[in-house]
Amino acid sequence: MASGPAYDVVVVGARCAGAPLAMLLARAGHRVALVDRASFPSDTMSTHFLWQRGTARLQAWGLLGRLRARGCAPIRQITFDPGPVQISGIGPAVAGAADTYCPRRTVLDALVVEAAAESGADLVERFVVGEVIWSDGRAAGVRGRRPGSAGSSLRAAVVVGADGMHSGIARRVGARAYTEHPPLTAVYYSYWSGIRGLGASFHARPGQLILTWPTNDDLTCIYVAWPRQDLHRVRRDIEGRFHAALELIPGLREAVAAGHREARFTGTADLPSFYRASAGPGWALAGDAGHHKDPCTGMGMSDAFLTADLLAGAIHQGLAGNPPMDQALASYQQRRDAMTANGFELTLSTARLAPLSPRLEALYRTAADQPEIARHVFGVLGGSIPLRDLHTQARLLPASLTAPSASSCDTIPNARAKASNGLVGSGFSAVSVPAAWLYVLGQAGGREACRGRRHEAEQQGGSACQRGKARGGTIRRSVRG
């Protein structure tokens, strides 16, 4: 077996988490190997919604212009249709990024991989990592192979698993999972040509969620989610179930019928929610490998970018020995947890596909009449602004929406999480959908999530989610229709 060169960092997985991480570390002057069993461009199971906080990172990294140049148009209006009313608008800009985007993964991932290679990372495609190398109790590299060739080793001071939800690196380093929830939804999506004017829309009905996005190549991606327990019923007649869901939204089925479906239905019910310990001696996890949630709120890619940014800063500091690497990696995990906790709870709540509560209906009715409230609702849904900003406009809200317990449990403070990380662009808000929002949602978990959050966050600098007890296992299944 040949021994490879010594790197500062080897990153396993080259998509939304791994590629920007490698890019940032290479730009900071570190020797980085970025490996993936895939080659690029290539697709992966994912739809496309990138909130402004994700867009803002692409902009800060100098990649947003390239995305647009590859035929990905900005989206300046989102329709949120929870049933009784429709709200149209968009959240406030994040760090100057005003628009959202819906890039195909063939485009987005390839673009960031190219940027990593341009920045000096050694890109190794079609390299399947099979083992972690250990030295004195620390991860010290990986072993893997390309098809048809002998195995080889890549030695490094830090091994990062950015290898997705089923991370083999997490398994090999024994990363413990916490705050686990079994899958809540089963989803299918596909692409249509010839549909004009649907735009980016989010339609919520009890037991169903229907999302539409314009994406590259003048295609419209349409995604339907059902409760996880409906999977077998849906699989028996995917097309029929899909169209039955479209019929729930006035005019949608007709609009889709005017177009042409260009791809098979892709679907999965393998959508567990969890955190994993993401830092240990010589290793760390980024993106879905360390934290996964249902895609219904479209936060996974933005959060993968966030973890790339945070982890790049931590590794940069650790390689300089200030603080020592293990301490830097541990603080990365704490910051990640704090900055994703509220988005995690909001996503769990949304994925339950529950009927609209009267309280939330009242909020949405108000937002439908008042564009400024609607703007804040979109900002909260996208995880870029805390509810306290909505509360500053409380005079505009019905009295029933300004319950004191909501405001008394506001968001985890952002400032500490943003501080002392030279590579984290200034101006980014934390992913700070607050527990108070869940109180307003009036759905299961909101009040409980609220209690103790501030105390725990302050004590641990981490997420109140950490105290959660694992509930049940996951059911894994990916299906293509």
Closest approach of ligand FAD to the CB of residue 200, in Å: 10
Closest approach of ligand FAD to the CB of residue 129, in Å: 4
Q: Which is nearer to ligand FAD, 212 or 334 (CB)?
A: 212
Q: Which backbone phi and psi does 417 adopt, to 5 degrees?
A: -65, -30
Where on the chain is the footprint of ligand FAD (CB under 6 A)? 12-18, 35-38, 44-49, 128-129, 162-164, 168, 187, 268, 287-289, 295, 298-302, 304
Q: What is the dihedral of CA 110, 112, 114, 117, to 10 degrees?
A: -140
Q: Which is nearer to ligand FAD, 72 or 401 (CB)?
A: 72
Q: Which is nearer to ligand FAD, 220 or 366 (CB)?
A: 220
Closest approach of ligand FAD to the CB of residue 255, in Å: 20
Closest approach of ligand FAD to the CB of residue 292, in Å: 7
Closest approach of ligand FAD to the CB of residue 448, in Å: 26
Q: Which is nearer to ligand FAD, 287 or 386 (CB)?
A: 287
Q: Which is nearer to ligand FAD, 168 or 214 (CB)?
A: 168
Closest approach of ligand FAD to the CB of residue 184, in Å: 13
Closest approach of ligand FAD to the CB of residue 406, in Å: 27
Closest approach of ligand FAD to the CB of residue 409, in Å: 27
Q: Which is nearer to ligand FAD, 18 or 227 (CB)?
A: 18
Q: Which is nearer to ligand FAD, 18 or 214 (CB)?
A: 18
Question: Strand 283-285 to strand 266-268: parallel, antiparallel, or no bridges (unpaired)?
Answer: unpaired
Q: Which is nearer to ligand FAD, 125 or 361 (CB)?
A: 125
Closest approach of ligand FAD to the CB of residue 329, in Å: 17
Q: Which is nearer to ligand FAD, 131 or 254 (CB)?
A: 131
